[in-house]
Amino acid sequence: MFWRTAARLIFGLLLIAALLYRFNPAAALSTVLSASPALLLLAPAVYSITFLILSLRWRRVLHALGEDLPLSDAYQAFAGGMILSDLTPGRIGDLSRSLLVRDQLTLYKGLASVVIDRYADLLTTFALGLWGMVFLAQRGPYILLASSAILMIAASASFLWLRRSSVLEVLRSRSSRFTGIANALDDAISDVRGIKGLMAGSVLMTIVAWITHALRIAIIARSVGYEIPLPMLIFGLPLVSALSLIPVTFSGLGLVEGGLAVLLAGVGVPAAAGVSIALMDRAITVAFHILVGSRAATRAL
């Protein structure tokens, strides 16, 4: 386990190093140093709004499961879960979110709420990604091929949700240890009131959240002198973010940065500047997670 963890970390750092080496580390550093401090401070302020939207979405799912969680606790737990998500492959650490407030939620309903919440993310990635592919199709076959692979992941996750009864049945058949977990999750999801309306509302909230994600990247890019079309970011960022689901590095370290640099290159941003923008965004978001979520994360230990 230790060696696999170390290998993922080293591989991610090597990807970052390769990107910097390939696209001129001096130019990347110069871009970072030229950033406007005022605009960089605005980026986490926008991210705080993103987290508010996502926390409200999660509370809405919890309410449908018959659970209630104060907004401040949901906000901190969401950020705390993101700390663990930043440190795990495929962002599986986000599933720990409900455990950070386990004294306030029924355990399996809390876990079911995160599963439903994450599914809304994947469904929105699939929807926005389809539109994103229309844009990327004009940029080159390799980008289109990569985007198709990412969409296949999202589509597979959507299929697994639609066939969740069969998936839970497989869990039951694997081991008696999973029987209780599978039964509890099945019961919790079955108890959701108005699942179609819940998912539709969650997807709409997620789209609004992606608009704020795009705005944050646009602000960071503007801080170093680049104007990025917001629609391109709204439809392209979900595909870039989906790279974090590939479990070869921690939360897609190196993969996401490379993907964002390629996306920005499509609108004329030099590769070195694109990598710099991606690294600044990584630093801002991780720092926000630690600042807001560390209390919830440490309290759960």
If you write DSSP's letter for every residue of 10-47 in order, what string do you get? HHHHHHHHHHHHHT-HHHHHHHHHTS-HHHHHHHHHHH
Contacts of 93 (CB under 8 A, 6+ apart): 81, 83, 84, 85, 86, 87
7-36 mean pLDDT:
84
96-118 mean pLDDT:
85
49-53 mean pLDDT:
97
Domain ranges of the chain: 28-299
How confident is the model at residue 267, as a pLDDT?
Answer: 85
Highest mean predicted confidence (pLDDT) among 16-20, 88-92, 246-250, 263-267: 263-267
How far is Cα 77 from Cα 151, in angstroms, rounded to an integer? 29
Burial 226-241 (b: 16+ CB within 10 A, else e): bebeeebbbbbbbbbb
User: 246 by DSSP, 3-state: which?
Assistant: coil
**What percent of the chain is modeled with pLDDT above 90?**
35
Contacts of 73 (CB under 8 A, 6+ apart): 101, 104, 296
How confident is the model at residue 236, as a pLDDT?
Answer: 86
125-139, 204-218, 285-299: range with lowest mean pLDDT: 125-139
Given a cut of 80, is residue 65 above it in pLDDT?
Answer: yes
DSSP letter assigned to residue 89? B
Element (H, E) at 152: helix 141-162
How confident is the model at residue 172, as a pLDDT?
Answer: 54
How confident is the model at residue 96, as a pLDDT?
Answer: 82
Scan for tokens 């606790």, then name that residue.
73
Contact between residue 46 and residue 212 where contact means Cβ atoms under 8 Å apart? yes
Contact between residue 75 and residue 52 where contact means Cβ atoms under 8 Å apart? yes
Burial 174-210 (b: 16+ CB within 10 A, else e): eeeeeeebbebbbebbeebeeeeebbebbbebbeebb
Given a cut of 80, is residue 142 above it in pLDDT?
Answer: no
How far is Cα 93 from Cα 253, in angstroms, rounded to an integer? 15
Which of residues 183 and 41 earns the better pLDDT score? 41
Residue pLDDT, tens place only, 209-265:
999 999 999 999 999 999 999 988 998 898 888 888 777 788 888 889 988 998 898
Residue pLDDT, tens place only, 150-191:
556 556 655 555 555 555 565 556 555 555 555 555 556 666
Given a cut of 90, is residue 121 above it in pLDDT?
Answer: no
Q: What is the mean pLDDT of the chain?
A: 81
Task: State the DSSP string of 225-240.
Answer: T----HHHHHHHHHHH
Contact between residue 61 and residue 113 where contact means Cβ atoms under 8 Å apart? yes
Q: Which amino acid is at 106?
A: T
Split at pLDDT 50, 70, 90, the class of 27 is confident
Split at pLDDT 50, 70, 90, the class of 110 is confident
**What percent of the chain is modeled with pLDDT above 70?**
77
Q: How many CA atoms lie within 13 A of 283 on its CB side?
A: 10
Given a cut of 90, is residue 54 above it in pLDDT?
Answer: yes
pTM of the full predicted structure? 0.83
83-87, 146-150, 225-229: range with lowest mean pLDDT: 146-150
User: 300 by DSSP, 3-state: which?
Assistant: coil
